[in-house]
Amino acid sequence: MCLLFTITTSIAQDFQEIQIANEYVSKGEKEKALQAYQHLIKNQQNISLIHSNYFNLLISLGHYKQAEDYLHKLIRRETKYTYKLDLGILLVKEGELAKANKYFDNLFSDDREAFHLKMSADYLASYNLLDYAIQALVTARKIAGPTIYNLELANLYRLNGNRMQMIEVYLDYISQVPANISYTKNMLQMLLTKPEEFDALEEVLYNRIQKDQQSEVYADLLVWVNLQQKNFSGAFIQARSYDKRFRKDQSKTLEIGQIAMNNSDYEVAIKCFTFVVKEFPNTENYLPAQLGIIRAHEAKVKNTFPVNNQAIRLLIKEYKEFKNQNPNNPNAEEAYLSLSMLHSLYLNELDSGVYYLLKLIDSPTASAIQRAQAKINLGDIYLLKGEPWESTLLYSQVEKSQHESTLGYEAKLRNAKLWYFNGEFKLAQEHLDILKQATTREIANDAMDLSMRIKENITFDTTGIALKEFSAIELLVYQNKLDQAIQRLDTFNSTTSPGIQDDVYWLQANLLMKKGRFNEALKKLEKILSEFGDDILADDAYFLQGDIYEHQLKNKDKAMEIYREFLNKFPGSVYAAEARKRYRTLRGDFAELPNQ
């Protein structure tokens, strides 16, 4: 009993001394800690509790010979693997790299247990000895096979800054487990941040496909890597190759066409849809592609300023032909949505717009979603006709029938804008507060932008005089009364709410651009940059300047200059990726693309 009490007391006392020694380390009192550990190390039972701190302390104090003697003594007592690793770490810390290399070579080659080597890699990585950690894991894979530790090895290469080797290992991983391609894409998207890194990945993929032309995952990744660079032309080429080779039910080229459309690359979208129409005539891809061609033409016409009314009438003809050729197909019902807005917004033929929407709402082949969209569009037309109460009735119906859906949120946003146009800012704000939590980023962002404008300007001007005038002008814009809107903006008085002036310049620039007065638009954008260079619209204004020079004035050199300066001035902008892609395209980076 007395002996047991003595042992227990000794253990408790040692534990207290260990805590004191550890506190010395944390406070940086190294000599005191060393003395404490040297006393504690005499008791072999303490070694597992203090080894790591004691070993690292000896190294930090430069007591290499003492550390070596200590490790050799431990290794003679027991063959704990980490002690052997520590001996190699000590050689590195001493600067004996040749000896360390030879030591680890022998240690790893003598070990035939993959698990030991994996543990070694983790341990060495904790000391940031990544080259040796990689060596251990590579050796483990030679023993157990190349299908294990892919992700761990890829991570070590990442930490070591070896992007190319990391890429190779990830590609090995998905070639072995194709089902994990989504995970691999997510990892590469997170880890590859520079254009040259995606270029390197693309080159590796080309090399691998040359050796394995039937690899679907490599072909899929080639499409994906072009999308990451917003190189939609390159993505089209690779998607076309993918579709020809693998003949899936769902066309990848159709998907790329839709993505290109969403990113305003209408020429590539047309190429994608045209290919699908020719290559997949008797599949479910055919009608969406056929409709996609018309929609891409429509988007191109709408974004070529000033908009050509003859081109609008040609689009109407194409939509009618599409509908007549496919009278009972749900895809064809979409044509009515486009027809209605072309008649209403661009030709001011409001009754024709109403006619097509009512036909869609009454159509037995239309889906509930299509009918809801038709009601939103019909509400838009009633707003054009100056009947806002009819509009809000229709929007509210969609809010109710499509509750918690994207269309429901879209209808709520329309109602918020109605209150805004009418100068009822408090009611508008109530709708917008709900929409900030909307499921789609676009709707949430629109809601936040409008909410911010209301709050900022009501703060400066509690009467809301300037904002009421500005919202009334925005209603004119919505009703396509552009000349009236421009005239009222020219006489706009922002003295009661000076914070709204950058919005005035921005709206003026966009209206002048739509009227084909591009040089005047550039001057308004320059005013934003000179007077509000640090405000929220600065990057929008700078980017739009580049867009005008590129697409409207066809001044390639000036557009390149602006995009280059944009990337320097606004590297964190939401437009940065697009500006980089446009700059590289204009520079010719994507001119020579392998066509498989």
Distance CA 543, CA 547 (A): 6
| pLDDT (tens place) for every residue of the chain, 596 residues total | 443 434 444 555 677 888 988 898 889 899 988 999 888 998 888 998 999 999 999 999 999 999 999 999 999 988 789 999 999 999 999 999 999 999 999 999 998 899 989 999 999 999 999 999 999 999 999 999 988 999 999 999 999 999 999 999 999 999 999 999 999 999 999 999 888 899 999 999 999 999 999 999 999 999 999 999 999 999 999 999 999 999 999 999 999 999 999 999 999 999 999 999 999 999 999 999 999 999 999 999 999 999 999 999 999 999 999 999 998 888 888 999 999 999 999 999 999 999 999 999 999 999 999 999 999 999 999 999 999 999 999 999 999 999 989 999 999 999 999 999 999 999 999 999 999 876 788 899 999 999 999 998 888 777 889 999 999 999 999 998 999 999 999 999 888 888 899 999 999 999 999 999 999 999 999 999 999 999 999 999 999 999 999 999 999 999 999 999 999 999 999 999 999 999 999 999 886 544 44
Q: What is the pLDDT of residue 406?
A: 93
Query: Residue 399: which residues within 8 A CB-CB, separation 6 or more?
Result: 408, 411, 412, 415
DSSP code, position 549: I
How high is the pLDDT of residue 5?
39
CA gap 380, 398 in Å, rounded? 13
Q: Give the separation between CA 225 and CA 202, rounded to whole angstroms.
A: 7
Give 367's contacts (C-beta < 8 A, 6+ positions apart): 330, 333
Residues 53-89 have pLDDT tens digits of 999 999 999 999 999 999 999 999 887 899 999 999 9
Q: What is the pLDDT of residues 455-513, one digit of tens each?
A: 988 887 778 899 999 999 999 999 989 999 999 999 998 888 888 999 999 999 999 99
- Is residue 452 situated within a structural domain? no
User: Within a domain: residue 204?
Assistant: yes
Number of domains in the chain: 1
CA distance 204 to 222: 10
Residue 561: Cβ-neighbour burial (10 angstroms; 0-12, 13-18, 19+) = middle
If we measure between CA atoms, which residue out of 418, 347, 437 comes closest to residue 380? 418
**14 vs 593: CA distance, rounded Å:** 70
- The contacts of residue 444 (CB under 8 Å, 6+ apart) are 435, 436, 437, 438
Domain that holds residue 186: 162-229
Other C-beta atoms closer than 10 Å to the C-beta of 347 total 15
Tokens for 316, please give them: 């109407």
User: What is the C-alpha separation between 356 and 347, in angstroms, rounded?
Assistant: 15
The dihedral through the CA atoms of 405, 364, 394, 334 has a sign that is: positive
Q: Return d(Cα 447, Cα 5) in angstroms, integer.
A: 73
Tokens of 47: 């070694």
Nearest-angstrom CA–CA distance, 129 and 132: 6
How many whole angstroms from its chain centre is CA 427? Answer: 34
Residue 314 CA to residue 312 CA, distance in Å, equals 5
| CA dist 124 → 104, 138, 370 (Å) | 11, 14, 60
Q: Is residue 68 part of a domain?
A: no
Q: Retrieve residue 458's tokens.
A: 């009501």
How high is the pLDDT of residue 78? Answer: 85
* Residue 201, in any domain of the structure: yes
Exposed, middle or buried by CB within 10 Å (0-12, 13-18, 19+), for 325?
exposed
Between the CA atoms of 395, 401, 402 and 408, what dihedral angle is there, to the nearest 10 degrees? 20
Examine residue 544 and state whether it is found in any structural domain, yes or no: no
Q: What is the pLDDT of residue 262?
A: 94
Q: Give the pLDDT of residue 246.
A: 94
- 453 contacts 402 by C-beta, under 8 angstroms: no
**Is 176 inside a domain boundary?**
yes
pLDDT of residue 594: 46
d(CA 298, CA 279): 23
Q: Is 249 exposed, middle or buried (0-12, 13-18, 19+ CB in 10 A)?
A: exposed
Domain contains 211:
yes
Residue 254 lies in a domain: no
Return the HEC string of 86-140. Answer: HHHHHHHHHCCHHHHHHHHHHHHHHCCCHHHHHHHHHHHHHCCCHHHHHHHHHHH
Give the angle 163-142-84 at the CA atoms, nearest 5°: 90
Q: Distance between CA 546 and CA 564 in Å, rounded?
A: 10
DSSP string over 147-213: TSSHHHHHHHHHHTT-HHHHHHHHHHHHHH-GGGHHHHHHHHHHH--SHHHHHHHHHHHHHHHHH-T
